[in-house]
Amino acid sequence: MRRRTPVQMGLNIASMIDVVFLLLIYFMVATDFSPAEETFRMDLPDRRIGSEAFSLKDTPLRVEVLAPGSRAKPLYNIPGYGVPTGSVVSLQQQLANLRGEGGAAKFTPDHPVEILVSPSAGWAGAVEAFNAAITAGYSNVRIDERGGS
């Protein structure tokens, strides 16, 4: 009886490499890279010291969001206008009273409002103050982190 020699199984990798290189060449030739290489023009004002382009016309109405001690609820304060409060509804009422109507208005709806957040206060309080200012009728509101305390 004759012994059979085992048949060696293998893959012809040379033809696979040829196919991969042909696909690579096809995609390199068929791809258009130019739309991603656009240049966008930005007309920004000069940023020199004392430049009027970056300064505000009006001094913004400041709303402070403070976290006194270990209190979980933030404290809202409008320096020079009203008393500090822990209620968002009360803050909204104070802001609405400052905006007022007609001759009683101290601030216009487009007057800048700056919400200064204490680093120890949570951002949830800042968002609540932002929403209170928008609900009170102000349209130019920004949030900023307050240095110090």
Is the residue at 101 inside a domain? yes
Is the residue at 20 inside a domain? no
Is the residue at 10 inside a domain? no
Residue-level pLDDT at 41: 62
Is the residue at 31 inside a domain? no
Question: What is the helix (H) or strand (E) element at residue 64, kind and residue range?
Answer: strand 61-66
Cut 0.75: pTM above it:
no
Instruction: Kindly report the average pLDDT of the chain as a whole number.
Output: 78
Is the residue at 40 inside a domain? no
Range of the domain at 131: 53-145
Is the residue at 137 inside a domain? yes
The tally of domains found in the chain comes to 1
CA 16 remoteness from chain centre: 49
Residue-level pLDDT at 148: 46
